[in-house]
Amino acid sequence: MSAGVDPSLDTAPPWLFTPRVVFTTMIVAVLALLPVYSMLTGNTFTLTLFTRVLILAAAAVSLNLIMGYGGMVSFGHAAYLGIGGYAVGILAKEGIGSGFAQWPVAIAASALYALVVGALSLRTRGVYFIMITLAFAQMIYYVAIGLDRYGGDDGLTIHKRSQFGFIDLSNRTTFYYLCFAVLLGSIYLVARIVNSRFGLVIRGSRSNDRRMRAIGFPTFRYRLVCFVIAGALCGLAGALLANHTNFVSPALMHWTRSGDLIVMVVLGGLGTLFGPLIGAATFLLLEEGLSRLTEYPDLILGPVLLLVAIYLNGGIEGLLEGRRRG
Amino acid sequence: MLYFIEQCLNGVQLGLLLFLLAAGLTLVFGIMDLVNLAHGSLYMLGAYFAATFAVWTGSFVLAVILAVVASLIVGMVLEVVAVRRLYDRSHLDHVLGTFGLLLFFNEAVRLIWGPAGMTLALPNEMLTAVQVIPGVYYPIYRLVIILATLAVAGFLYIVVMRTRLGMLIRAGASNREMVGALGINIKLLYTLVFGLGAALAGFAGVMQAPILTVQIGMGENILILAFVVIIIGGIGSIRGALVASVLVGLIDTIGRAFVTDLLRRVLSTNAADTLGPSLSSMSIYMLMAAVLVFRPEGLFPAASR
C-alpha cells in the first residue's frame, strides 16, 4: 500500500452501524436463508452456485490471512485447493470413503506442503515471493498431470461424497450448511488469530519486518506458522470443492485459478474479515450473471477488474467505508 | 549424440524466444515497477496479427513486419489508456488490473477471430531442412528463428547500451524519480518502453505462430516461463534475462527429450513413463526455486534493487 498507515492496525470498535456492518449482516443473513428460498421455489441451481461461492470464499479467507494481514502475496494458493481435492479423490478411489479419514488427510497434506513451500519461500521478499509460490504451485500442477492412475490431465471423478456416519453430504441443503459453517468458522478463526498476540506479530511484520525482528521477534517462524495455517484452511476448502463438484482435475491448480483467488481477495477488500466473502460472491455472481447476458462475459469483467484496481482503495469493503482514491 | 545436438539447438531456439518475452517483461518491471500479467496476451495478439496479415497480404515477411508494428501500436495505446494509471499502485493492484486485461484480451480475440485456432503457413523455401554439421539436419525455419532472435537481441543491446534512449532506459531502471527530476519526459519514456516490450512480445508470438497452433490462452503458459526467466536472471537485468532464458530453454527441452530415457535405466519402464514427463515439466521450476533459495535476488541482481 502506498499510504503510510496500515489500515489493518485500526482499533476502532467494529460493531457500529456503519454501511459496512449493515451490508455484511445482510449478506450473511441472505446466505443463511438461501436454502429456504431454494426449497420454496425448487430452484436448485442457485443453491449449487452459492455452495461454490461459500467454498471459494473460504479459500479466499485463508489467502487473505497471509496476504491481507501478513503481506505474503501467495500466487500459488490454488495448489492447496488441488491438494485437498486430490486427497479426497485419491482416497475415494482407493476405497476409503470415510470423511473422518479423507478430510484430516486433506488438511494434513496441505499443511505439510505449505510447511515446505513456506520454509523455502519466506526467505524471499516482494515480487520474488510472488513468483516462487507460483513456481511451487506449477510443480504440483505438473505432478497432478503426471498422476496417470488418477486420471492425469483428464482429472478424476469422485463417485461418492465423503461419508460422515449419520450426516448425509449428498443432501444439497446439508452440504450447503456444512460449507456455510466452514466459512463462518474460518472467518472466526482468522478474527481470533489476527487479534491475538500472534496476529499482532504477523501484522507488525507486514508493516515493518526489520523493526519487528529488532525488538526481538523471530518473525520467520511466526510467518511460517501463519502460512501453514492458511494452507491447511485452503486444503479443507479443497476437500469441500471436490465433494461439491464430485470431480478433481489439474485445471483446479492452473495459475489462473490462483489469480482468481487473489482477485477475489483484492476485489472484496484486502485485510478485512468479510472482504474475501464479498469479493468471492461478487466475482462469481458477476461471472455467472454476465455469461447469461452476453456470450463474451470477460469482455466486461476484465475492464471491471481493471477499474477496481485503478479507482478503488481497499476493494468493495473500502468503498463501504467511504475510502476512495483521488 | 546427433540427437543431442539437435535437441540443444531446439533448446537454444526456445530460450531465445523466451528472451524476447522476458526482455520486455524485465524492462517494464525494472523501469515502471509493474507486474504485467497481460504480457502473454501481447504475444498471443502478435501471433493472431501475423496469421491475419499473412492471409491479407499473401506474404510471410510482410505479415511479420505488419504484426510487429501492430503489436507496438496496441502496446502503446494500452499503456496510455490503462496501464499508465497502475504505476503508483501496489503490486497486488497490478496483479488485479492486468489479470483483468488478460481476461479482456482472451475474450476480445474470441470475439474477433472466433474460438477455433488459426495456423500460419510458412513459405515453401522455409519448409526444408539443412545440414548444419555433417549428419545433423535442422529445419530452416528454426534456424531463421535463432538468427532473427539473435539479431533482435543484438539490436536491443545496441539500443539499450549505445543510444540516448537506452541511456534513459537504464537511468530509469536505476532511479526513475531522478530521471524525471532532470527534465526527461518520463511519461513518454514509459510509453515507449511499454511499446517496445509489446513489440518484442508480439515478435515472439509471430515467430512461434508457424510452429504452434495460434489459439486463445497460448500466452498464459509461456508468460509463466518468462516470469521464471526474469526471476532467475534477476529482475531488471537484460543480461540476466538472456543467460536465464537460454538456460531455461535448454533445461526444459533437454529434460523433455532425455529424462524419461534416463529414468528407464533406474526404474521400471512403467514408472519412468509416468514420472518422466512430470519431472521434466517441473525441472525449470525446481531450478528457479533452487536459485531463489541460494540467491534470493536472482543470478544477476540489478544493483539498486
Residue B303: which pLDDT band, with cuts at 50, 70 and 90?
low
- pLDDT(A85) > 90: yes
R_g of chain B, CA atoms, integer Å: 20
Subunit contact B89:A309, Cβ cutoff 8 A: yes
Subunit contact A2:B224, Cβ cutoff 8 A: no
DSSP 8-state symbol, B138: E
DSSP B17-60: HHHHHHHHHHHHHHHH----TTHHHHHHHHHHHHHHHHHHH--H
DSSP 8-state symbol, A161: P
CA distance A46 to chain B (A): 25
Cβ contacts (< 8 Å) between A298 and chain B: which residues?
103-104, 106-107
pLDDT digits (tens, 9 = 90+) for A266-276: 999 888 999 99
- pLDDT(B304) > 50: no
DSSP A18-86: -HHHHHHHHHHHHHHHHHHHHHHHT-HHHHHHHHHHHHHHHHHHHHHIIIIIT----S-THHHHHHHHH
CATH code, B154: 1.10.3470
Grid look-up 485452503 returns A234
* Grid cell at residue A198: 500472534
How many Cβ contacts (< 8 angstroms) between chains A and B? 147
Would you kindly state where each structural domain of chain A is located, as residue ranges? Answer: 51-254
- pLDDT(B81) > 90: yes
* Grid cell at residue A174: 446439508
Cβ contacts (< 8 Å) between B274 and chain A: which residues?
146-149
Preferred mutation among B83, B292, B294 to probe A, highest tally of A CBs within 10 A: B292
Subunit contact A310:B286, Cβ cutoff 8 A: no
Nearest 5°: the CA angle A232, A233, A235 is: 65
Residue spans of alpha helices (H) in chain A: 19-41, 44-64, 78-93, 99-121, 126-146, 172-194, 197-214, 219-245, 255-268, 275-293, 298-311, 315-320
Percent of chain A having pLDDT more than 70?
Answer: 94
Of B96, B289, B292, the CB nearest to A266: B96
Q: Is B265 exposed, middle or buried (0-12, 13-18, 19+ CB in 10 A)?
A: exposed
Query: Structural domain tally of chain B?
Result: 1
- pLDDT(B7) > 60: yes
Residue A14: which pLDDT band, with cuts at 50, 70 and 90?
low
Please report whether residue B101 resides in a domain.
yes
- Contact yes or no for A263/A312 (Cβ under 8 A): no
CA distance B90 to chain A (A): 6
Subunit contact A305:B293, Cβ cutoff 8 A: no
Of B96, B281, B286, the CB nearest to A309: B96
What's the rounded mean pLDDT across residues A34-49? Answer: 89
Element (H, E) at B130: strand B129-133
pTM of the model: 0.88
Please report whether residue B305 resides in a domain.
no
Residue A7: which pLDDT band, with cuts at 50, 70 and 90?
low
pLDDT at A326: 36
Of B90, B97, B220, the CB nearest to A306: B97
- Contact yes or no for A275/A317 (Cβ under 8 A): yes
pLDDT digits (tens, 9 = 90+) for A230-265: 999 999 999 999 999 999 999 999 999 999 999 999
A169 close to B (CB below 8 A)? no
DSSP 8-state symbol, B212: S
Residue B261: which pLDDT band, with cuts at 50, 70 and 90?
confident
Closest C-alpha to B21, from B153, B145, B204: B204
Q: Is B125 exposed, middle or buried (0-12, 13-18, 19+ CB in 10 A)?
A: exposed
Interface of A with B in 263-322 (CB under 8 A): 263, 266-267, 270, 296-299, 301-306, 308-310
pLDDT at A229: 97
Subunit contact B99:A259, Cβ cutoff 8 A: yes
Preferred mutation among B103, B230, B282 to probe A, highest tally of A CBs within 10 A: B103
What are the two backbone dihedrals, phi and then psi, of residue B249, each rounded to the nearest 5 degrees? -60, -45
Residue of B nearest to A314 (CA): B93
What's the rounded mean pLDDT across residues A101-105? Answer: 94
The span from the CA of A55 to the CA of A277, in Å, is 10
Preferred mutation among B28, B248, B282 to probe A, highest tally of A CBs within 10 A: B282
The span from the CA of A117 to the CA of A132, in Å, is 9
* Grid cell at residue B130: 539443412
Grid look-up 535463432 returns B146
pLDDT digits (tens, 9 = 90+) for A195-225: 999 999 999 999 889 999 999 999 999 999 9
- pLDDT(A81) > 90: yes
Subunit contact B107:A127, Cβ cutoff 8 A: no
Subunit contact A309:B94, Cβ cutoff 8 A: yes
* Grid cell at residue A48: 449449487
pLDDT at A3: 43
Preferred mutation among B29, B96, B278 to probe A, highest tally of A CBs within 10 A: B96
Percent of chain B having pLDDT more than 90?
Answer: 35
Cβ contacts (< 8 Å) between B275 and chain A: which residues?
146
Cβ contacts (< 8 Å) between A86 and chain B: which residues?
none
Of A120, A126, A310, the CB nearest to B289: A120
- Contact yes or no for B119/B51 (Cβ under 8 A): yes
Residue B251: which pLDDT band, with cuts at 50, 70 and 90?
very high
Subunit contact A303:B97, Cβ cutoff 8 A: no
Closest C-alpha to B96, from A141, A307, A108: A307
* Grid cell at residue A186: 474460518
> Which ipTM was obtained for this model?
0.87
- The alpha carbon of residue A71 and the mean position of all alpha carbons in its chain are separated, in whole angstroms, by 15
Cβ contacts (< 8 Å) between A296 and chain B: which residues?
107, 110-111
Subunit contact A296:B286, Cβ cutoff 8 A: no
What's the rounded mean pLDDT across residues B122-140? Answer: 80
Closest C-alpha to A250, from A167, A147, A177, A166: A147
On the CB side of A125, how many CA atoms lie within 13 Å of its CA?
A: 8
pLDDT digits (tens, 9 = 90+) for A157-208: 998 888 888 888 888 899 999 999 999 999 999 999 999 999 999 999 998 8
From residue B145, alpha-carbon distances to B15, B148, B259 in Å are: 11, 5, 26
Please report whether residue B4 resides in a domain.
no
Instruction: Compute the CA torsion angle B23, B24, B30, B34 (nearest 10 deg).
Output: -140
Three-state secondary-structure class, residue B136 = strand
Subunit contact B281:A301, Cβ cutoff 8 A: no
Please report whether residue B83 resides in a domain.
yes
- pLDDT(A8) > 70: no
Mean pLDDT for chain A overall: 89
- The alpha carbon of residue A73 and the mean position of all alpha carbons in its chain are separated, in whole angstroms, by 13
Mean pLDDT for chain B overall: 87
pLDDT at B128: 81
pLDDT digits (tens, 9 = 90+) for A277-308: 999 999 999 999 999 988 888 899 999 999 98
What's the rounded mean pLDDT across residues B231-253? Answer: 89
On the CB side of A298, how many CA atoms lie within 13 Å of its CA?
A: 15
Please report whether residue B126 resides in a domain.
no
CA distance B153 to chain A (A): 25
What residues have CB less than 8 Å from B277, skipping those under 6 apart? A145, A146, B256, B260
The span from the CA of A184 to the CA of A234, in Å, is 14
What's the rounded mean pLDDT across residues A91-111? Answer: 93
List beta partners, residue A138.
none
Residue spans of alpha helices (H) in chain B: 2-32, 39-57, 60-81, 91-113, 140-162, 164-174, 176-181, 186-208, 218-233, 238-266, 269-294
Cβ contacts (< 8 Å) between A259 and chain B: which residues?
37, 95, 99
CA distance B282 to chain A (A): 5
- pLDDT(B31) > 90: no
- The alpha carbon of residue B235 and the mean position of all alpha carbons in its chain are separated, in whole angstroms, by 14
**Range(s) of the domain holding residue B225:** 9-121+141-294
pLDDT digits (tens, 9 = 90+) for B155-209: 988 888 889 988 888 887 777 788 888 888 888 889 999 999 999 999 999 998 8
